[in-house]
């Protein structure tokens, strides 16, 4: 049986994950806070052609610290625009559409993308156990709504 609490817990983890990268208006990104959201042994995959990466949580955080805190990527934020979550016992998956914007190396950008997240409940609490994402590009345009997928 799915409880409202399970869905709310997964929504909260997802919101924390998206908010961790925000450096608009001089904010300091909460990259270390990702350790409260992701299982320490998780897998994080960037599936953008030519930029593919499979990383551990530590590798993912360490790569983003200089990007988000040393001026290379500024005024950055991303937010979920649509989602669908499926929960089965102690496992769950979430399809997530998002948009992100910022200024990378002096060039403003705004794009959309799709994420897949896997969750697991261990010792009574939910964790993100895997994350994979792909951004819009020639040959891939994420749907505006999961109803259109």
Give the mean pLDDT of the chain.
95
* Candidate from 3-17, 24-38, 115-129 with smallest mean pLDDT: 3-17
Residue 4 pLDDT: 64
pTM: predicted TM-score of the whole model, two decimal places: 0.93
Alpha-carbon span 125 to 6, nearest angstrom = 9
pLDDT above 80: residue 3: no
Three-state secondary-structure class, residue 105: coil
- Mind giving me the DSSP string for 47-68? --TTS-EEE-HHHHHHHHHHHH
Which domains, from first to last, does the chain contain?
4-136 (3.10.450.50)
Closest C-alpha among 20, 39, 59, 21 to residue 119: 39
- Name the band, by pLDDT with cuts 50, 70 and 90, for residue 88: very high
User: Radius of gyration over alpha carbons of the chain, in Å?
Assistant: 15
């Amino acid at each position: 049986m799915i409880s409202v609490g399970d869905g709310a817990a997964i929504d909260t983890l997802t919101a924390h994950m998206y908010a961790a990268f925000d450096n608009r208006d001089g904010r300091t990104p909460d990259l270390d806070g990702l350790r409260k959201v992701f299982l320490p042994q998780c897998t994080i995959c960037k599936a953008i052609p030519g930029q593919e990466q499979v990383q551990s949580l530590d590798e993912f955080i360490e790569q983003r610290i200089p990007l988000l805190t040393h001026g290379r990527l500024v005024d950055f934020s991303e937010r979920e625009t649509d989602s669908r979550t499926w929960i089965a016992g102690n496992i769950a998956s979430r399809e997530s559409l998002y948009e992100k914007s910022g200024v990378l190396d002096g060039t403003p950008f705004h794009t959309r993308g799709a994420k897949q997240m896997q969750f697991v409940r261990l010792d009574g609490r939910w964790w993100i156990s895997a994350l994979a994402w792909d951004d819009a590009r020639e040959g891939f345009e994420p749907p505006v709504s999961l109803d259109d997928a």
